[in-house]
């Protein structure tokens, strides 16, 4: 059984002749799934086509120490074992 890993992916996307750098922490089973998730997130938030998002393979890093994760939500999912959703009233 595969375990979920945390990845830090850095790159840049081009929008209106401007290159905008980004860094994302994502949780996925492998590198390909993590890249797919980043393409999806950047494309939906910034309305950028996939061919305008540039990620170099050396900028994809697997995070093994949870203290390196700067995104609070991803860090919570990486460290907590028993997460419970709040009950609706």
**57-80: burial string, b at 16+ Cβ within 10 Å, e else:** eeebeebeeeeebebeebbebbee
Which residues, given as ranges, of the chain have pLDDT below 50?
none
pLDDT the model gives residue 89? 64
Task: Note the pLDDT of residue 1.
Answer: 56
pLDDT at residue 36, rounded to an integer = 96
Q: What are phi and psi of 78, to 5 degrees?
A: -80, -30
Q: Which fold has domain 5-79?
A: Ubiquitin-like (UB roll) (3.10.20)
């Amino acid at each position: 059984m595969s375990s979920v890993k945390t990845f830090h992916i850095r790159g840049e996307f081009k929008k209106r002749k401007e290159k905008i750098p980004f860094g994302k922490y994502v949780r996925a089973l492998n590198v390909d799934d993590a890249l797919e998730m980043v393409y999806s997130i950047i494309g939906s938030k910034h309305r950028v086509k996939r061919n305008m998002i540039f990620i170099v393979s050396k900028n994809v890093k697997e995070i093994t120490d949870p203290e390196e994760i700067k995104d609070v939500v991803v860090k919570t999912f990486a460290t907590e074992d028993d997460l419970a959703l709040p009950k609706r009233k």
